[in-house]
């Protein structure tokens, strides 16, 4: 996908990773439409069931959708309250799905959809059971969507990064983070996402053994 002049809606554009991806997209020649809860072109709250459809309508015609918004919580599975699990699924699964559906329902649906899931979709992690389940659900949805949109030639890119140096773990909605692996610089991931989007790839995964990103 040639990004020059393409209009890309970035959900979570004011976050550390979303902001870096937005800057990289602009450098690649894309027209970024920022979406988030504050200081954005389009208002978007993934926890609000009505917000994704309103955001897609407000954004108008877009060539691509990039979802880099999410939340996290920590703690033992049996000690994680139902309301925390619901909050994780609202923001990491149901909100993104609603936004994707709303974007695809537009008269000119986007040709590319990119979503940040996480390495825990492949490697569910202790003290992060509900978060791991949410990211696995999002990843499964993206895989099924890719198969469905094959004839339409829609690019569906699932990005599954490891623990990054964005400070995401410090903004947990509940609990304290367990001992995490050494953070990988987000600067290593961001250009790979843009390159994978250009090359119309399916996934970016983290090779745990070799500590490197792999693109499929």
CA dist 17 and 24 (Å) reads 11
Domain 7-215 sits in CATH 3.40.50.720: yes
pLDDT in tens, 151-180: 999 999 999 999 999 999 999 999 999 999
Q: Are strands 203-207 and 212-215 parallel, antiparallel or unpaired?
A: antiparallel
The rounded Cα 143 to chain-centroid distance in angstroms is 14
Task: Output the pLDDT for position 72.
Answer: 98
Q: Cα–Cα distance between 216 and 211 in angstroms, integer? A: 16
Supply the pLDDT for residue 51: 98
Transcribe 40-56 into DSSP letters: SSEE--TTSTTHHHHHH
pLDDT at res. 141: 98
67-92 average pLDDT score: 98
CA distance 7 to 215: 24
Query: What's the farthest any 2 CA atoms get from each other in the chain?
Result: 49
Question: What is the structure's pLDDT at 90?
Answer: 98
Question: Can you give the residue ranges of every domain in the chain?
Answer: 7-215
Q: Please give the mean pLDDT across all residues of the chain.
A: 97
129, β-bridge pairs: none
The confidence score (pLDDT) of residue 183 equals 97
The rounded distance, in Å, linking the Cα atoms of 46 and 36 is 9
What are the tens digits of pLDDT across the range 97-142? 999 999 999 999 999 999 999 999 999 999 999 999 999 999 999 9
């Amino acid at each position: 996908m040639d990004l020059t002049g393409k209009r890309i809606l970035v959900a979570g554009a004011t976050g550390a990773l979303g902001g870096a991806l937005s800057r990289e997209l602009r450098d690649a020649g894309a027209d970024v439409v920022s979406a988030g809860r504050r200081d954005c072109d389009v208002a978007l709250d993934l926890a609000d069931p009505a917000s994704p459809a309103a955001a897609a309508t407000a954004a108008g015609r877009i060539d691509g959708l990039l979802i880099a918004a999410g939340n996290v919580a920590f703690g033992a599975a049996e000690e994680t309250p139902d309301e925390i699990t619901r909050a994780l699924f609202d923001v990491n699964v149901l909100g993104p799905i609603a936004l994707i559906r709303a974007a695809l329902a537009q008269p000119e649906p986007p040709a590319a959809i990119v979503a940040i899931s996480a390495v825990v979709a492949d490697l569910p992690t202790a003290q992060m059971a509900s978060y791991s389940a949410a990211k696995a659900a999002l990843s499964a949805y993206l895989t099924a969507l890719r198969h469905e949109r094959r004839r339409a030639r829609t690019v569906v890119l699932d990005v599954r990064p490891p623990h990054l140096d964005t400070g995401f773990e410090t903004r947990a909605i509940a609990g304290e983070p367990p001992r995490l692996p050494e953070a990988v610089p987000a600067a290593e991931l961001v250009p790979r996402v843009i390159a994978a989007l250009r090359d119309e790839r399916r996934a970016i995964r983290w090779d745990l053994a070799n500590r490197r990103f792999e693109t499929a």
